[in-house]
């Protein structure tokens, strides 16, 4: 999985977690919808969701957190992570 090592490293560096899942949907030739799932503190599995516009080179933050039947965790945006992911995809 060397192919995703860069995203795994970004997840560790910016979100302080271990990458456990990556889902990318190419909605069109202009938008990429990304869902990064990561393990934080060996307890929570959190999702970071964003959309990258290839044409305008803009990032739209969607959500960051987790919810299940017992609890809901909402976290804010991590602009440095957004920037790192978009730079990686748009190079």
Neighbours of 38 (CB within 10 A): 21
Q: Are 64 and 77 contacting, i.e. CB atoms less than 8 angstroms apart?
A: yes
Per residue in 68-85, pLDDT (tens digit) is 767 788 999 999 999 999
What's this model's pTM, rounded to 2 decimal places? Answer: 0.86
Per residue in 24-45, pLDDT (tens digit) is 998 778 888 999 999 988 778 8
Q: What does residue 24 show for φ and ψ, rounded to 5 degrees?
A: -125, 125
DSSP classification of residue 60: E
């Amino acid at each position: 999985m060397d192919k995703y090592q860069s995203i795994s490293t970004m997840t560790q560096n910016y979100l302080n977690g271990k990458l456990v899942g990556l889902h990318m949907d190419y909605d069109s030739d202009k938008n990429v919808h990304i869902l990064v799932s990561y393990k934080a503190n060996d307890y929570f599995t959190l999702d970071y969701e964003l959309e990258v516009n290839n044409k305008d080179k803009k990032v739209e933050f969607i959500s960051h957190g987790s919810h299940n039947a017992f609890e809901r965790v909402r976290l804010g945006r991590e602009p440095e992570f957004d920037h790192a992911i978009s730079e990686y995809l748009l190079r």
